[in-house]
Amino acid sequence: MKMRGAACVLAALACLFAADAAVAQRTILQILIRGTNANPARPASPVNNLQELSAAFAGCWSPPPADRERGPVDVIFQVSFKRSGELFGKPRIVEFVRPVTPEERGRYYAAVAEAIDRCSQMPFTEQMGGAMAGRVFRVNFIDMRNRKQAEVPWPTEKS
């Protein structure tokens, strides 16, 4: 009876560690979009770290025109790459930060698909390709173009 209980505890621990490993395989990239990108382009130089990967995604992205009345749309999608930089599996949009109309959804789906097409095959260095192979990236495009911010002056005097 004690052996069966110990086996159950070990099985439960193995499941927990496997779940932690799966979460550890997901990397979140937050990319701030501050303006339109009139000339989106594939990365010209090899990508060797996460900052360069974020810059590559930002360079490939051309956001749809902002809707001044509804506010900015932040889009979150998942993508994974092979060691060679090719897409691994099918990228998918996970969510929008605010409710979107069917027209907005279509525009953003198209923009994300174009950005991913433009960026694949990602020019990873050999080291980066080995580190990125099979890892799921959750990419957050945060649209700052029409973001309303409080107009609070910063203190300029030293105390």
Contact criterion met (CB below 8 Å) for 111 and 65? no
pTM: 0.74
pLDDT band at 153 (very low <50, low <70, confident <90, very high): low
The 10s digit of each residue's pLDDT in 111-142 is 999 999 999 899 999 999 999 999 999 999 99
Q: In what order do the strands lie in the sheet with 26-33?
A: 26-33, 136-143, 75-80, 92-96
Q: Please report, for residues 58, 60, 149, the alpha-carbon distance to residue 36 in angstroms, rounded to integers and kept in the order given.
A: 10, 11, 19
- DSSP notation for 36-87: --SS----SS-B-SHHHHHHHHHHH--PPPP-TTT----EEEEEEB-TTS-B
